Amino acid sequence: MAYFRVLSAQLAQLQALLVREESWAILITADPDALASAMALQRIIRSKVKSVTIARTNEITRPDNLAMIRYLNIPVVKWRPSMKKKIQRFALVDSQAHHNPAFAGLEFSVVIDHHPKTDDPCAAPFQDIRPDYGSVSTMMTEYLYSAGIRPARLLATALQYGIRTDTATFGRGCTDVDLRAYHYLSRFGDATLMNRILRSEYMPEWLPYFSRAFETLRPCGRGSYVWLGKVNSSDILVVVADFFLKVHGLRWVAVCGVSAGRVVVVFRGGYGKMDLGAVASCVFPGIGGGGGHKTMARAEAALVDVPVENRSGLEEYVFQLIYTAAEKRRRMQAASHGGKKASTEESGTEEAKRRTLAKAAGEKMSEPSQGAAEEPVQKDSAE
Ligand SMILES: [Mn+2]
């Protein structure tokens, strides 16, 4: 059955690069799509070369990505430049050479990616870049199929997870061929392992924050307020806020904490009329900033800019600021029947500031849960 494109020409070109005496490294910015694609490429070339190492340039911190590596036995190691002397050939999947400073100075023989092509000329003798594909895992499924390789249980599950993640579970940038690949892989994948990965949403060390969240959760106007106090990283505010999005009937939540000398508020929700980006922009008038989208926003201020008399009662102080900002916004939106007038009522400078901050906040905020894009260098994302 002609399930996929026939890639015999590409495969022949790829095979021509494989020499039995050479060691390969597949470099990735580890996320589910990259991990699965690297596993597939390793499977395709491993019997024809001396060795194939999968090396990641980033730290892996997301629990689902850690679960994927653990349950699917992905042999990924941390990339060290000293490894270079033992490697003769480099391949890159789910990325392009200019995406990451760690890739600079390496000569890639193979580049397989689905990110947009840029003007940067790619010198790799074998390159396959298809921005119209939802994931590289889809492309690699086609390669396996064309090569007559039936994906084993763990590889098939990895590719399925790669497709799921990059298409936000078939909701974003998903094409027919991504769906077809997923369907094909489901014959070989392991649904139980997939569920174990999907359910690995939290790290054990995050649990005390949840217990704090349940203790401090209280209504704030029509939304909810959570105070976590001092946190190691503001990322935990995002994790907790995303959790509360799953609570039926909860309109929006503001999860607050203090991290690195700053009071940070993470907003989630806003599926009704409330524009959380607009609320976030007014939380810390004169002492901090905020912004974001309608359903995800962030506000923050340096602790030193909080009036001295409020520093000991921060939880209540921040609550009052959010309550005031949200109620003000709600009344403005109610008065203008849906908010069009409300946004024009904001002063010009406030609005301009909000837009600038919204961009920064939006990018920062888009990473959690089934996350969107993230800077390629630092962390593993779900993209
Ligand atoms: Mn990808």
- Give the tens place of pLDDT for each residue, 138-161: 999 999 999 999 999 999 999 999
Segment 290-295 mean pLDDT:
93
Percent of the chain with pLDDT over 90: 77
CA of 347 to the centre of ligand 1 (A): 41
CA of 217 to the centre of ligand 1 (A): 37
CA of 135 to the centre of ligand 1 (A): 5
- C-alpha 234/C-alpha 243 separation (Å) is 15
CA of 114 to the centre of ligand 1 (A): 6
The answer regarding whether domain 206-365 maps to CATH 3.10.310.40 reads yes
- The CATH 3.90.1640.10 domain(s) of the chain lie at 8-199
Percent of the chain with pLDDT over 70: 86
pLDDT of residue 362: 45
CATH code given to domain 8-199: 3.90.1640.10
Provide the sign of the torsion angle of the four alpha carbons 16, 20, 23, 26, taken in this order. Answer: positive
pLDDT of residue 363: 41
Q: Does the structure show a pLDDT above 80 at 1?
A: no
Segment 323-336 mean pLDDT:
91
CA of 383 to the centre of ligand 1 (A): 6
> 56 or 350, which is more confident?
56
Closest C-alpha to 65, from 204, 200, 169, 182: 200
CA of 72 to the centre of ligand 1 (A): 18
What are 209's two structure tokens? 């924050």
CA of 33 to the centre of ligand 1 (A): 5
| Three-class SS state of 58 | coil
CA of 136 to the centre of ligand 1 (A): 5
Question: What is the CA 167 to chain-centroid distance, rounded?
Answer: 11
Q: Which residues contact 50 (CB under 8 A, 6 or more apart)?
A: 20, 21, 22, 23
Q: Does the structure show a pLDDT above 60 at 338?
A: no
Q: Does the structure show a pLDDT above 60 at 64?
A: yes
Banded pLDDT at 6 (limits 50, 70, 90): confident
CA of 377 to the centre of ligand 1 (A): 14
CA of 162 to the centre of ligand 1 (A): 7
Q: Does the structure show a pLDDT above 50 at 379?
A: no
- C-alpha 383/C-alpha 371 separation (Å) is 6
- C-alpha 92/C-alpha 112 separation (Å) is 6
For the stretch 7-60, pLDDT in tens is 999 999 999 999 999 999 999 999 999 999 999 999 999 999 999 999 999 999
Average pLDDT, the chain: 88
CA of 182 to the centre of ligand 1 (A): 15
Segment 326-343 mean pLDDT:
74
Banded pLDDT at 345 (limits 50, 70, 90): very low
- The CATH 3.10.310.40 domain(s) of the chain lie at 206-365
For the stretch 155-214, pLDDT in tens is 999 999 999 999 999 988 899 999 999 999 999 999 999 999 999 999 999 999 999 999
Residue 299 contacts residue 326 (beta carbons within 8 Å)? no
The structure's pTM equals 0.79
Segment 244-273 mean pLDDT:
93
CA of 129 to the centre of ligand 1 (A): 11
Q: Does the structure show a pLDDT above 50 at 344?
A: no
Q: Which residues contact 66 (CB under 8 A, 6 or more apart)?
A: 60, 200
Q: Does the structure show a pLDDT above 50 at 370?
A: no
